[in-house]
Homo-oligomer: A and B are copies of this chain.
């Protein structure tokens, strides 16, 4: 049996587009004389469709689109992730399923059994789990079909099982006949380091059950989620046979009899990339897809001459093309001349359009307007925020006038502790590097510069400053970034408490201050733009904390 692994980049709810991508790769698989072509989890509607699943009209359109595909394809088997009605007397109305169809007939349906409901996942909100797993005999080969989370419950891999059932064990156990090939359809969001975890899991599964494994994963950016593709076939000893491209549509072919794999086309190259290269590619895809799927072609952003906006601009130019990017320097009275020079040089290096629009006179006008009300009250953070919000207003005006999506430039460290201005620098449709801790921002910038200097070298060496007050430097308000990022990772990604973080050797008042700032700035993040998720825990849909709260660790009495 010759199996095509086709990873498409679906648009949520765009049944016409998604059907076209499915038809395109099905034709390609037929040309290459494949017996079966496999698409990813919920490939027809795109993952995650969220509350569209509660709309009957959406489901009807999905079912019609599926019926058209089933009726319209012949000469090859298609296994595709689809929505399926659950008709039982109780429970949710849908299954997350994979349907195998051929020459107008539906041969088999597998239902997802393990429904992730944590972090960014809400699957029990919509789906009823499947109740059984059995291999299906197709063209003489027993296929063991699973969907994403179904294979993420392997006892050898996880110290504690999140689910009481294990579809893999069930597939292998009598009275079921053991499959000859394991198949997994997934829409598994990327994060830094996940590829290694997946490879480990997949190869353990192959070895544990002595079976080859075929995984087809969604590709593309969907709001904050980045799907990396990299669909693959592994042999029964867990060795990689063939792997599709990362961060782009692709198809590869696995010949079960020979155990050999091949690309669909010799022009697609699959270079191994290191972690920073992978991260850059993920962010570039995320920007391209978010901007494009929202109907834009152009981007605009503020260039402060700092590292965050420089990196964001470089990513935007790769994603949209430099001709579609406008970078604007918006100097205030506290902006150093070097900042403007560096912003200009960056734009020159990137080849994007550059404008300078000083905000000093607007800042003065705001102060004049407010003077009768503020009287002799001392200058404080208010005046800093006013500057940031003038910039936000100007950038949004350009966004509105030119039809360019505003990209915001804040990093994860400052989003965490609220070192940013709501409606100011936080303005934008997409926060490109909002899940990158500051240290990682530097790392990516250095990587970008590794061939030739794109970001002016001085940007990487000057001490970071918001430049909203005289002689202001981040390190006057915040702990050193290496310390801050380590504390934040412990708090955000490991869920540790203050005591545990202090036990790692950090100063207690600093840790308490950082944790306090994270909690107290929930309100800013509630109104932040969508940020591209690249770590195990990003702010956004998978980070759900109350804004009104008064939790103080260890405080149970007044």
Contacts and interface: CB of A to CB of B under 8 A. Distances in A.
Given A497-B55, A528-B527, A550 B389 contact: no
A400 B382 contact: yes
Contacts of A17: 550
A474 B124 CA distance: 41
Q: How many copies does the complex hold?
A: 2
Given A68-B557, A393-B386, A495 B54 contact: yes
A181 B168 CA distance: 46
A380 B400 contact: yes
A341 interface: no
A549 B497 CA distance: 38
Contact of A124 (B11, B117, B386): B117
Nearest to A49: B546
B548 A222 contact: yes
Interface residues of A, number: 104
Interface in A318-377: 355, 357, 359, 361-362, 365-366, 369-370, 373-374, 377
B423 A90 contact: no
Contacts of A546: 12-13, 48-50, 52, 222-223
Interface in A295-316: none
A9 B523 CA distance: 21
A453 interface: no
A269 to B, nearest CB: 28
A545 interface: yes
Interface stretch (A155-163, A476-484, A506-514): A155-163
Best-buried of A365, A530, A546 by chain B (most CB within 10 Å): A546
A482 to B, nearest CB: 24
A449 interface: no
Given A163-B90, A362-B365, A543-B51, A57 B553 contact: yes
Interface stretch (A58-66, A208-216, A237-245): A58-66
Interface of A: 11-17, 19-20, 46, 48-52, 54-58, 61, 64-65, 68, 89-91, 117-118, 122, 124-125, 160-164, 221-223, 289-290, 293-294, 355, 357, 359, 361-362, 365-366, 369-370, 373-374, 377, 380-382, 385-386, 389-390, 392-394, 396-398, 400-401, 422-423, 427, 429, 495-500, 523, 526-530, 541, 543-558
